[in-house]
Amino acid sequence: MKEKKIIVTGGAGYIGSHTVVELHNAGFTPIIIDNLCNTSIKNIEGIAEILGKEIKWYNADCTNYKQIEKIFLNENNIEGIIHFAAFKSVEESLKKSEKYHKNNIGSLQVILKNMKKYNIRNIIFSSSCTVYGNPDVLPVTENAPFKKAESPYAETKQICEKLLEKDICNSTSLRYFNPIGTHSSGLIGDYSSDEPANLIPIITEVAIGKREKIIVFGNDYNTPDGSCIRDYIHVVDLAKSHVSALNYLIKNSGKYCFNVGTGKGISVLEVIKEFEKAINLKINYSIGKRRNGDIEQIYSDGTLIKKELDWQSEKSLKQAMIDAWNWEQNNL
């Protein structure tokens, strides 16, 4: 049987590492490209431990055309690309917009040029619900217009989706909501070098004593308890959505975009309470000012992805909390 090779850029990152595991489990041969600039080799080792085998890994920079060309030249018969490689902190992007534009857009341009040159047809792009800005209607559907980006990070995702629309390749943009949790083994997770900006890693750091308290940014939003509302999806569910999207794209050439979430909006204060219940620990928090770049509330309408890809989230918020806590304890 012919090997189904999939290049996974950023495959040693948080979502990338989980997707590599699910690709292998689904019969694909994932090949990682990652220069570890915002993750750790521990994820490469963790993948090998989970799968009982090493996955091929190239230490290369996706914005470097020659480095990427060399890999594409070396690997024949690539079935498709899953492109994760990007910087991802909304907060950092507000201070370092040029870094985000250069890396997030530049890496996709390099990948697309090489795809064209080596006749690789299919790409799954790691997009984000931030492309919608502050949506007018909730839950948000894929037809919602792109509003003004609230951060340079969000703007890079909007620009990348537009680049894909114009390109000759078959492409699917997966617009993630808020990924949380880790693989149940606790062997792979979020090793981002930047200070955790996402809610759950901050909560687990408070729980374990790495930080004193969590600051809830704003309690005066127009929401039931005044804190921001998000759609939190278990990263393993999210990883599986990439496998579904890839299988679909290989069979159905074209251009697609799908929301990937649970369809449930949960507030920051509710998440803290749910975590306290799940692991039976009190979390110290205080209320701070609103944070630049944050949108008030967003959660997904998952009708389209269920209909077209037969995918929906399965894991509960409680399970994600338990897995995140397990990961934190494993990585003291």
Per DSSP, the residues of 150-178 read SSHHHHHHHHHHHHHHHSSSEEEEEEE-E
Q: For the domain 5-182+233-261, what is the CATH code?
A: 3.40.50.720
pLDDT given for residue 2 in this prediction: 77
Mean pLDDT of 60-89: 97
**What pLDDT, on a 0 to 100 scale, did the predictor assign at position 318?**
96
Confidence tier at 331 by pLDDT (50, 70, 90): confident
In the chain, where the domains are located: 5-182+233-261
> pTM of this prediction?
0.97
Rounded mean pLDDT of 192-199? 77
Higher-confidence position of 169 and 90: 169
Contacting residues for 174 by C-beta, under 8 A, at least 6 apart: 124, 125, 126, 127, 241, 242, 245, 257, 258, 260
Tally Cβ neighbours within 10 Å of residue 280. Answer: 6
Is residue 153 annotated as a catalytic residue, yes or no?
yes
Q: Which of 58, 100, 132, 153 is catalytic?
A: 153
Helix (H) / strand (E) element for 259: namely strand 255-260
Confidence of residue 294 (pLDDT cuts 50, 70, 90): confident
Evaluate whether 5 touches 20 at the Cβ level (below 8 Å). Answer: no
Query: At residue 13, does pLDDT exceed 80?
Result: yes
CA atoms within 13 A on the CB side of 141: 5
